[in-house]
Amino acid sequence: MDERRAAASPPLEAALAIEGATLVDPELGVVEDALLLADPARILWVGARSQAPAWRLRPAGERVGARGRFLMPGMVNAHSHAAMTLMRGYADDLSLMPWLETRIFPVEARLRPEDTYWGALLAAVEMLEAGVTAFADMYFFMEETARAVVEAGGRAVLARGMVEPGDGSGERALAEAEALFRDWHGAAGGRIRVMLGPHGVYTTTRAFLGRVAERAAALGARVHIHLSENDDENRRSQATYGKSPAEVCAETGLFQVGCLAAHCVKVSPRDIELLAEHRVGVAHNPVSNLKLASGIAPVVEMRRAGVTVGLGTDGAASTNRLEMFEEMRLASVLQKVRLDDASALPAREAFAMATLESARALGWADEIGSLEAGKACDAVLVDPARSPALWPHFDPFSALVYSAEPAAVEAVWVAGRKVVEDGRVRTVDVERLRHEVTRRAAFLTREEG
């Protein structure tokens, strides 16, 4: 009966067909000899080639033979500061507060809009070549980051980082954040979204957080904040308010507007309840948390409580590499050693965190995070032949989480447009990019005589 129905319906027209790969997806699982059809911005149909409906490729449509490859959704980096690539390797081996206050803030004081553009363009290129098709970012001069993302061909949700030391300067930042929302939210065919980004409880005031919550509710914007990154941050919050950062956020209304909270390393059982109750999305950044000696987040406990936990890289100044294979692998192995349980956070769960869970944490799972029909065609082809670390391989989730590296990424599509081919971004002049970032990084970090 199914065959008769297929024969009676008109053939499906596709502009893009990716054929023969092993599909690896957080929702669909593993599908051997898969077929993905796209129009090309959206996925029309995906599944086993043997079960495909009648279809034909549009004239001049693209047909990609992908036998022997893994086809996976583009990874979603749930927390980053893209332009901090300019400070990559500049301030290593320091803990969070001295790192920020003695090294990072002085450099950021010199940052000009065009530096942000080049730094963000580098981040976008680096991420795309590593199979990361979308990221959540918080920084300054975000219209420059938006331009860079659009040019590179990726996708991002951007927040103008706002601090309020108590002198009222936060209001100016908030006005800029609202302008960014009006100008860019939904831009570039929906590839750019905008959130409001109060930097953290320790870098703002309670009154300001309340203001941000109020404006976010009025605009229909979500918020992106750093939360309980380490003990020192919690101590500051307790000293000022007698409450944890999560309690302050819940109290000011910030958790009620749709919140993405980065880190959540030092969260109490009560904090975890608050995160779950308010459906706060968490961005877990294992490499950054390890390098700044912040700690290991209670990922398993948060997930068990029903909290959505995605994965992020944080900025390149603290993580050095903006790629998610290492974040997946570390997210998994850290929970094992923390809980003394080798079965904790298995590969398939770490894979879901880097894709669909991150998309949910961003409030973007309607379009990205998995390769289901109807979603955007943000897809990555991983070729095991490009990386000896993938020889041999058995379970595809295990191969992608524990063995894969960016060098294995062969091709990347965002909204059906091929932006990475043969492992290299094709949308950007990378020689010019290298020259610009090298020159600008030297200027920004020069020592005053």
- Judged by the rule CB under 5 A, the positions of this chain that interact with Zn ion are 314
Looking from the CA of 273 toward its CB, the CA atoms found within 13 Å total 5
For Zn ion, the closer CB: 17 or 283: 283
* H or E stretch covering 398: helix 396-398
Smallest separation (angstroms) from Zn ion to the CB of 58: 43
Dist. CA 151–CA 188, nearest whole Å = 10
* H or E stretch covering 157: strand 155-162
Residue 362 CA from chain centroid, whole number: 8
For Zn ion, the closer CB: 283 or 441: 283
* 3 state DSSP class of 295: coil
For Zn ion, the closer CB: 25 or 314: 314
Smallest separation (angstroms) from Zn ion to the CB of 174: 19
Smallest separation (angstroms) from Zn ion to the CB of 262: 5
**Cα–Cα nearest to 251, from 210, 310, 292:** 210
Smallest separation (angstroms) from Zn ion to the CB of 226: 5
For Zn ion, the closer CB: 288 or 332: 288
Smallest separation (angstroms) from Zn ion to the CB of 315: 6
Residues 96 and 263: beta-carbon distance below 8 Å: no
Other C-beta atoms within 10 Å of 351: how many? Answer: 27
Structure tokens at 82: 């893209």
For Zn ion, the closer CB: 230 or 403: 230
Smallest separation (angstroms) from Zn ion to the CB of 283: 8
Smallest separation (angstroms) from Zn ion to the CB of 285: 7
Phi, psi of 421 (to 5 degrees): -135, 135
Smallest separation (angstroms) from Zn ion to the CB of 41: 31
| DSSP string over 115-161 | HHHHHHHHHHHHHHHTTEEEEEEEESSHHHHHHHHHHHT-EEEEEEE
* 3 state DSSP class of 382: strand
For Zn ion, the closer CB: 25 or 229: 229
Angle between helices 245-252 and 231-241 (to 10 degrees): 50
Residue 31 CA from chain centroid, whole number: 25
The CB-nearest residue to Zn ion is: 314
Smallest separation (angstroms) from Zn ion to the CB of 43: 32
Residues 356 and 369: beta-carbon distance below 8 Å: yes
For Zn ion, the closer CB: 115 or 314: 314
For Zn ion, the closer CB: 314 or 436: 314
* 3 state DSSP class of 46: strand
Residues 246 and 267: beta-carbon distance below 8 Å: yes
DSSP state of 83: G
**The dihedral sign for the CA sequence 413, 416, 419, 422:** positive
For Zn ion, the closer CB: 317 or 428: 317
Q: Residue holding tokens 């023969």?
A: 20
